[in-house]
A and B are shown apart, each in its own frame.
Chain A
Amino acid sequence: MSEVQAITEKEAKARALDIKSLDNPKAMKLYRRFDGILILVLFAFITLGIQIQFTLTAGDWDYWIDWRDRRWWPLVSPFTLLLFIGAFTYGIWTRLRLPIIATAVTTLLCLVSWLSRYLNFYEFTHFPMSFTFPSTYIGLGILLDCTLAMTRSLVVSAMIGGGLFGALVYPLNWSFMAPYKVPVEFNGTLMSVADLMGYEYIRTTTPEYLRIIEESTLRTFGGSVTPLTAVFAGLCGIVIYAIFLYVGSWINGLDKYAKRIV
């Protein structure tokens, strides 16, 4: 009992000192310096993490304008982004009360993708930027973070924000993509401008393009494929975001020390 009291008193004293330090300009300056370093390091590693994850799970749909189809691209992109965002959001929201991760991840991905496409696809392998420019997801990130900030609930933000994040990929990017979806006739075959560019720039991914993009599409569906994909992507967004919020809660529970590993 006495031991418990001693620990409590020590802890109470330390916490009082913490609060007192908030009035100390020297302490505040050090806190701010610490914050600056932490933000730099965390954002740098988040950039690396999302770049690796996005490249290896949805990269093909983001590298090439002709790959940005109406069935897979609006599905795989929010899926892989929300997975990454969910795990980080839990820790940053519960520990620091900052609804910033979705915006940060999507913005950092956008910045690093533009830099990377220029250096690697344009400068290194000489594909045109108009063929390989990255999609944008920043608006979706802002939407998800705003949902969290306004509802202050991870569950509600997963239901509303996660769903909207999944559903709105296509409309958010439509203004960039519309010129590439204009139909053209080439050697008697009707295709889109994006397809024509793809056939002109033969890549090792071309066979996979032919296998995956618009493969065995039910043409009788007419124009409703895109909204159907959006609704399904919204469902996937809700589920995957909720699952990885849970993963984030498990990981943040491991804020521990061990005496031995095994």
Chain B
Amino acid sequence: MAQTIAQTTTQEAGADSKVAGHFKRNRFAYTAGAFAIAVGAALRIYLDTMGFSVGTDYYSEEFQTYWMPLLYGEIIFMGAFTVILSVYFWMTREMDASKISKELELSRYWKLLGVFTVMGVWAGAIASNAVESDAAWHQVTIRDTDFTPTHIIIFYFALPFLTAMLIPTFIWTHTRLPAYMNKISLPFLAVVVGILMIMPNYGFNEWGHTFFYAEELFAAPIHWGFVFLGWSLFFLVPLAVQLFTNMARLIAETTAEEGDHQSV
């Protein structure tokens, strides 16, 4: 077994140094993060341009031309993104955790942090751009549909896309990292489920809004479901503790081995 691990380690790490790869910048985080910002900026520009010009009357022809196809496209894209990635990660899962070297395991943790970085960029974009755009929109418009332009951006893309990233990441983590294989991380599950449940909560929220057409109290109790589900982010602290407990040990082990090899 020890031989197998040593062989795998050498194959994965390259010829020069076992830890050298970990000092390289994570291209995935930079590329996907830039792509996320570009998509967010494009949607924001679309909202600014088309929101008040063709987005205030759900029953108008323009609304059906310029906004509803965007909604359908978002739903199709996110559904396909989540399902395809999730199925792919499950079908290509690791069957034998003992074949995963420490070096490979550590590199996978860096990848996971890269994915979380992209999610963080997306979360920041939602916080600064999306959340209060809906508040501002409902202060100056009459509510005639659930599918308002701001909802099409926030409810049906920005927030669900976090879930669309989290579900495949959850599956990837639990099928690639030995510390998570054959068991379930409770804090990770709580984060995923909490953000996922925001979508069914739209039903409660929009049902409540059928009673009002104009008056907007943003602190209204029908919005508190989102607040409660947002508390799932509290579980990020124990999740971070799990990650740095596992990673710190792997870093200590791999760098110690590196030092040993060099001293020999």
Write the residues of chain A forming the contact surface with B, with a CB cutoff of 8 angstroms.
Answer: 14, 17-18, 20-21, 24, 26-27, 29-31, 33-34, 37-38, 40-49, 51-53, 55-61, 63, 76, 87-88, 91-92, 95, 112, 115-117, 119-121, 123-125, 127, 203-205, 207-208, 212, 247-248, 251-252, 254-261
**Contacts A/B (CB < 8 Å), 20 sampled:** A17-B252, A18-B249, A24-B255, A26-B19, A27-B251, A31-B251, A37-B117, A51-B132, A52-B227, A52-B230, A56-B219, A95-B237, A112-B127, A116-B131, A124-B133, A127-B136, A204-B216, A207-B215, A258-B183, A259-B183
Residues of the A chain whose Cβ atoms lie less than 8 Å from the Cβ of B123: 44-45, 47-48
Q: Which residue of chain B has the shortest Cβ distance to A247 in the bound complex?
A: B234
List 6 A-B pairs, minimum CB-CB distance, nearest first. A44-B120, A91-B237, A21-B252, A255-B238, A27-B255, A48-B123
Are A208 and B217 in contact, with the CB atoms below 8 A? yes
Output the nearest chain B residue to A212 by Cβ-Cβ distance: B217
Chain B residues 222-236 with CB under 8 Å of chain A are 223-224, 226-227, 230-231, 233-236
Give the contacting residue for B258; candidates A18, A26, A87, A260; CB below 8 A: A26
* Interface contact B129-A119, CB-CB below 8 Å: yes
A112-B128 contact, Cβ under 8 Å, with A53-B227, A53-B230, A251-B238: yes
Q: Which residues of A contact B180 (CB under 8 A)?
A: 257
Partner of B234, one of A31, A47, A248: A248
- Please name the residue on chain B nearest to A203 by beta carbon: B139
Q: A91-B241, A258-B186 are in contact. Are A47 and B124 (CB under 8 A)?
A: yes
Interface residues of B, Cβ cutoff 8 Å to A: 19, 22-23, 44, 47-48, 51, 113, 116-117, 119-121, 123-124, 126-129, 131-133, 135-141, 180, 182-187, 189-190, 214-219, 223-224, 226-227, 230-231, 233-238, 240-244, 247-249, 251-253, 255-256, 258-259
CB atoms of B238 and A31 under 8 A apart: no
CB-CB under 8 A from B129, the residues of chain A are: 116, 119-120
Residues of chain A lying within 8 A (CB to CB) of residue B127 = 44, 47-48, 51-52, 112, 116
Q: Which residue of B lies closest to A206 (CB)?
A: B215
